[in-house]
Amino acid sequence: MPTQNAPASMYRSTEGLGIWEHKGKVAAVGIGHSPTARRWDETTDTSLGAWSILALRRAIEDAGVRPDEVDGLVMAQETSTGSPWPSDKPIPEDFLNTYKSTDNPLDGIARLSADWILMNMPELTNVNFTMYGPGCMSNAVVTAAQAVGEGLTEVCLVLKGWHNFGGRYYVGQGAAGGNTVTGPGKYSTLWGTVACYTTAMQFEAYCRKYGKNHDMMAPFVVNEKRNGLMFPEGFWAQHRPEVLTVEDYLAARWIAKPANLFDNDIPIMASAAYLFTTPERAKDMKQKPVYILNVASDRTRVRSFGPTLEEAEAATDETGRKIYEGSGLSPSDLSFENMYDGFTLFHQFHLEGIRFAGVQRGEALDFYATDITIEGPNPASPSGGNAGAGRTRFWMHTDSIQQIQGRAGARQISKPAEIGVSGGPTPTGGNFTVWSSTPG
Amino acid sequence: MPKQSPVPDEVDKPFWDAANEDRLVVQNCIDCDRLQHPPVAKCPDCDPGTNLEWKEMSGRGRVYGYGVMYDCPVTILAEDQPFNIAVVELEEDPGIKMLSHLPGTPVDDVPVGAAVEVVFEVTPTTGQKVPEWRVVG
Ligand SMILES: [Zn+2]
């Protein structure tokens, strides 16, 4: 049977479910990352497929298991950041000669199926559980955690890859270049909205509601870029080690005011993989286990055009309550937060939703003016997120695991990294994970 | 501002046909007594959710919020940058929201909360009219 998307029943998307039944019974152990690139150079060994295999092999090696011990694979099929492979362009010959193909010629190039991975990783001889956690790593992580908890797999790889191709695929391309519009765009892009427009509109409403302004975002974004430059796996650290100053941020051009250039992230290519297992199996592995204390999902249905500020706040409040209900924790238990930041202008919804460092609604931008660095008492987004390391939506998870394992290198927070939370992507739709140095 | 022409489909044709007659209609689920926009084939709140009708609106609303576009991907709007994109909420149900360029309102000087009324703007390619909104008073 072809690999299926995780069923809705595997997600903890409502309140009132109590403590997660698998609290402390699932652990992340291994981490593997590919290099990063701005765009694919069309050579085989930097392809989406090659880099995804590389990330998986590194996660296996990092955990110190044999490939034949792996019995599960949870991943996302989608790998697009918006960039399509042109329909009239042949797949490079060398790629086709190097890898086995599925019946979809774009497999390993512009999408990834579990079949493609397993066909091209012959060392994975005992994988008997595969599942898609669609969209991003946040989804794959909660799906894999639930799967290990339910006993569907004991040694599970979790994978997310991203491709990005050459050429412009955004401004004036495709539907945006036409004189007519079909589909959902009739109610949005018809007016010229860009991806960050809705977040910009929410942020403007937020500033009006609480008497804040866009300049107050500068310390957060500067801190994101600083943390990102200390993330050797990340794009900016590898390719463009540019320090962002408050002045740079305040002078940046608008994309959709009040969202500027630095409130948006840069599309890149990269793959990351984790190895999840049970605490019992983790005892024999190479790295310190990071226990998962809860997984929670948000499935907000937006009423009309939006989400609005009110919908974003209600959804992230609910997410916060779910995170604490299922883990039995409270905000003061968090050593750090790694909630999603792509766009930077919605990070405060997530941060306030979990009441990180006691921050209440409307207080996040004032909180950003306090010490939110990795050295301080309240490390905010120590991963640097998408803003600091490129658009992958997985830095927050990698960093959370590394922080608690004590392997975050220059980014290691000064206070003890005991418990952290990561997840996203959007305030009104995402998946969230609570990580801990101990099982309970 | 010249806009792309929306191409109606089976689900939303009544909305766009009404716009061509200078009328604003919004989909309503009769069973839930609840307005829904953008139009959908099936009410998300009930089963089978197909007991849908089109209700004529007053064409009055309020500005909920806005952003200003500086880097718009849509080619035919690019030369008009920067421009406002406001979110308008309808008088009949503020939960129902539509976008607007707010013709006549200066860029980045959007009166949030102000009353607006619908106008219908012809799009150049097909002549299909689009609901737009103007600040009143
Ligand atoms: Zn209904």
What CA–CA distance (Å, rounded) separates A374 from A231?
Answer: 12
Could you tell me the two tokens for A408?
């975050």
Q: CA gyration radius for chain B?
A: 15
Per DSSP bridges, beta strands A336-339 and A290-298 are: unpaired
Helix (H) or strand (E) holding A254, with range, is strand A254-257
Taking CB atoms and an 8 Å limit, are B67 and A187 in contact across chains? no
Could you tell me the two tokens for B62?
């309020």
Question: DSSP alpha helices (H): ranges in chain B?
Answer: 13-20, 75-78
Question: Range of B112's domain?
Answer: 13-135
Please report the ipTM that was assigned to this predicted complex.
0.98
Query: Torsion angle, CA of B63/B65/B70/B72, rounded to 10 degrees?
Result: -80
What CA–CA distance (Å, rounded) separates A146 from A140?
Answer: 10
The label of the residue with tokens 């010229």 reads A192
Per DSSP bridges, beta strands A155-162 and A72-75 are: parallel
Whether residue B7 lies inside any domain: the answer is: no
Of the partner residues B5, B64, B72, the one whose CB lies closest to the CB of residue A194: B72
Distance A303 CA to ligand 1 centre (A): 13
Pair B61, B119: CB distance under 8 Å: no
CA dihedral over A340, A346, A348, A354, signed as positive or negative: negative
Q: CA gyration radius for chain A?
A: 21
SS3 for B16? Answer: helix
What CA–CA distance (Å, rounded) separates A383 from A328?
Answer: 25
Whether residue B96 lies inside any domain: the answer is: yes
Q: Chain B contacts of A314, Cβ < 8 Å?
A: none
What's the pLDDT at A168? 66
The label of the residue with tokens 């492979």 reads A85
Taking CB atoms and an 8 Å limit, are A181 and B72 in contact across chains? no
- Mark the residues whose beta carbon lies below 5 A from ion ligand 1: B 29, 31-32, 43, 45-46
B6 touches A: beta carbon within 8 Å: yes
Pair A153, A71: CB distance under 8 Å: yes
Class of residue A184 by CB neighbours under 10 A (exposed 0-12, middle 13-18, buried 19+)? exposed
For chain A, 440 residues long, give each residue's pLDDT as a single digit of tens: 799 999 999 999 999 999 999 999 999 999 999 999 999 999 999 999 999 999 999 999 999 999 999 999 999 999 998 888 998 999 999 999 999 999 999 999 999 999 999 999 999 999 999 999 999 999 999 999 999 999 999 999 999 999 999 876 666 667 788 899 999 999 999 999 999 999 999 999 999 999 999 999 999 999 999 999 999 999 999 999 999 999 999 999 999 999 999 999 999 999 999 999 999 999 999 999 999 999 999 999 999 999 999 999 999 999 999 999 999 999 999 999 999 999 999 999 999 999 999 999 999 999 999 999 999 999 999 999 999 999 999 999 999 999 999 999 999 999 999 999 999 999 999 999 999 999 99
Q: Which CATH number fits domain A8-167+268-282: 3.40.50.10330, 3.40.50.1820, 3.40.47.10, 3.30.1600.10?
A: 3.40.47.10
**Beta bridge pairs of residue B130:** B121
Q: Chain A contacts of B125, Cβ < 8 Å?
A: 179-180
Could you tell me the two tokens for A140?
């794959």
What's the pTM value of the predicted model, to 2 decimals? Answer: 0.97
Q: Chain A contacts of B26, Cβ < 8 Å?
A: none
What CA–CA distance (Å, rounded) separates A346 from A349?
Answer: 5
What CA–CA distance (Å, rounded) separates B45 from A119?
Answer: 43
Whether residue B1 lies inside any domain: the answer is: no
Of the partner residues B9, B44, B99, the one whose CB lies closest to the CB of residue A305: B99
**Separation in Å, CA of A11 to nearest CA in chain B:** 20
What are the counts of helices (DSSP H) followed by strands (DSSP E) for chain B? Answer: 2, 9
* String of DSSP letters for A395-424: HHHHHHHHHHHT--GGG--SS---EEEEEE
What CA–CA distance (Å, rounded) separates B4 from A180?
Answer: 5
Could you tell me the two tokens for A114?
């579990």
What's the pLDDT at B97? 98
Angle of CA points A112, A117, A120, to nearest 5°: 130
What CA–CA distance (Å, rounded) separates B61 from A222?
Answer: 39
Pair A394, A289: CB distance under 8 Å: no
Domain segments of chain A as ranges: 8-167+268-282
Angle of CA points B93, A184, A341, to nearest 5°: 85
Whether residue B34 lies inside any domain: the answer is: yes
Number of domains in chain B: 1
**Separation in Å, CA of A100 to nearest CA in chain B:** 38
What CA–CA distance (Å, rounded) separates A64 from A55?
Answer: 14
A88 touches B: beta carbon within 8 Å: no
The label of the residue with tokens 């500027």 reads A260
Taking CB atoms and an 8 Å limit, are A176 and B73 in contact across chains? yes
Distance B45 CA to ligand 1 centre (A): 5
* pLDDT < 70: residue spans in chain B: none
